[in-house]
Amino acid sequence: MSPTRRVIIVLASVGGGSVLSYFIYKLRRGGGELTQQDTHSLLTNIVFSVAIILGVGFMFLWNKKKDL
């Protein structure tokens, strides 16, 4: 599998998970507006998800280059 395809799959899954989280937050609020804390929580989840995925991906790339 090419690296570009992997990146697209990862971004799609993080995006899909973020959209589902948004709808869960909306359902919890009864369809009303999200609070500032809800928005902050969603953004934090997205940022950390992307950071963890990038970190693991780079770790695998570095290990592959070192032939580990």
Q: What is the pLDDT of residues 20-60, one digit of tens each?
A: 988 998 898 888 888 899 899 999 988 898 888 888 878 88
Handedness of CA 36, 42, 45, 48 (dihedral sign): negative
- What is the C-alpha separation between 26 and 19, in angstroms, rounded? 11
Handedness of CA 57, 59, 62, 65 (dihedral sign): negative
Domain extent for 50: 3-65
Task: Flag whether the pTM goes above 0.85.
Answer: no
Domain count, the chain: 1
- What is the C-alpha separation between 22 and 39, in angstroms, rounded? 9
- What is the C-alpha separation between 68 and 66, in angstroms, rounded? 6
